[in-house]
Amino acid sequence: MTNRHPRIEGIIPVMLTPFTDDGQIDYAGLERLIGWYLAHGADALFAVCQSSEMQFLTLEERVALSRFVVRTVNGRVPVVTSGHISDDIQTQVDELTAMSQTGADALILVTNHLDPKRQGSEPFKATLSTLLDRLPRDIPLGLYECPAPYRRLLTDDEVTFCAQSDRFILLKDVSCDLSTVKRRLTLTDGTPLRILNANAAIAWDAMKAGAPGFNGVFANIHPDLYKWLYTASARHSKFAHELATFLVLAAVSETLGYPALAKIYHQRIGTFDSIRCRVIDYDVRERFWALDAVIDKIADGTEFYRAKIAALPV
């Protein structure tokens, strides 16, 4: 790591993990997925996160997955990685140390594992301090308010503590609240810590407020549309409003069976052979009878807006 504070910003997909029908990691599909992300505007990749089904991967699989992504990307964009799924402090040290050695540009800590018993800031800071002392100092860190096993949002004091520690470069914000995002942008102004909103409902407003990109799950389906919203919407505000509305409506379908629905999309476009998930133990198509029709609409809308963007004056 030559840059102490690399800039991790822009459109950052939370990566899916493709599996074969018998439940093994499909590395050929993963290689195709990485190529697809890069061809569709990803500015960085977040490997081994909840969308990757990290809670259902062994440590060996998490390490191998992260190494494969880093090796395949080969420096074209930054890669950040997590794999942080444990509550026991020594197990956290072991798994995070292993993940830190995979070559990623930053190591992401999950906030709920810093306060697993929901006791507040004192145990949070104690766990964090232990990890900061024992993790390699040459890899930048990030924070992830992962919703599982529970959504542990940072307090303003905790955000400030991390921002001023000189160790953290990004926060995946899942507050889903524009006022919170704006306040965090103010708290971290002038520090290395960047606030990456992950909520589609406020994505455009957060960008306009200064959030440096988007880190939500639907960057797995149309990262290029979020990229245009981030980089070009100021020149076409009326169209940007229309596009932002479509992106919000599309993202509502997450509740129908994500990440399987994203895998169905990638199966349709030829990225994946299978929609097998470890996190979902049922057939999403049977439980949600309209799922294929919903994905049809999302796919059609995505292509419609890609064509409209291509026709806009520069």
Q: What is the pTM of this model?
A: 0.96
Taking each helix axis as running N to C, give the angle between helix 156-163 and helix 121-134, from 0 to 180 degrees, rounded to the nearest 10: 20
Give the residue from 263, 25, 54, 248 showing the smallest Cα distance to 144: 54
Q: Where are the domains of the chain?
A: 10-222
User: pLDDT class for 2, splitting at 50, 70, 90?
Assistant: very low
The answer regarding whether domain 10-222 maps to CATH 2.60.40.10 reads no
Distance CA 196, CA 215 (A): 6
* Secondary structure of residue 177 in the 3-state scheme: coil
Residues 42, 69 contacting (CB under 8 angstroms) = no
Distance CA 57, CA 30 (A): 15
Rounded-to-10 torsion of CA 26, 30, 31, 35: 150
Per-residue pLDDT tens digits for 133-171 = 999 999 999 999 999 999 999 999 999 999 999 999 999
Per-residue pLDDT tens digits for 92-117 = 999 999 999 999 999 999 999 999 99
Query: Which ranges in the chain belong to alpha helices (H)?
Result: 27-39, 59-73, 89-100, 121-134, 156-163, 178-187, 203-209, 223-232, 237-251, 260-269, 284-287, 291-311
Q: At CA 139, angle to CA 124 and CA 158, rounded to 5?
A: 25
